[in-house]
Structure 1
Amino acid sequence: MTTENFTFSITRIPFNEDYRPADGTRITTNFANLARGECRRENLRNTISMINNRFNDLAHWDNPSADRYAVELDIISVEMHI
């Protein structure tokens, strides 16, 4: 068995209304599709709002007004060079 040397880099991009996918991002990536086109910012706001609403719905036991929590997401990418 042989092992090859490799290097890698990890990047983190916040998923918020300012998110812009990298040029090389596949068009089949759902978050990237939301962030393209004329309505990109509105799409992202709506998606983030939906995520927050669903999370708050799950946390109903201590969140009667369903607005206590906000979810922050990061998109993590790993690039490997073998």
Structure 2
Amino acid sequence: MPHANLTQVSLCDVPVNQVCTLVKWGALDEPTVQRLNQTGILLGVTIRVAEQTISGPVVVVLNDSRLAIGTEIAKELKVVLGERNAS
């Protein structure tokens, strides 16, 4: 796995405008993983955090689309950080 030596963090801990790559599902159940897959959230996908609030969802950008991921699910998703986006 190419990301094995990089630090993994929860999607909830990623700052706004940070680009990251999804590397683990955490403790999510199979139906939840399938729903994420249907929306284009797959292991290895690169996403950018567009918005985040303490109590609300994490909004990510994937292929010019914005997707809201609930906090409980975002806590389980493990990512590695890429370069921070200036926009």
**Does the TM-score normalized on the shorter chain lie above 0.5?**
no
Which structure shows the bigger proportion of residues in strand conformation? 2
Please identify the structure whose Cα radius of gyration is greater: 1
Which structure shows the bigger proportion of residues in helix conformation? 1
TM-score by length of 2: 0.25
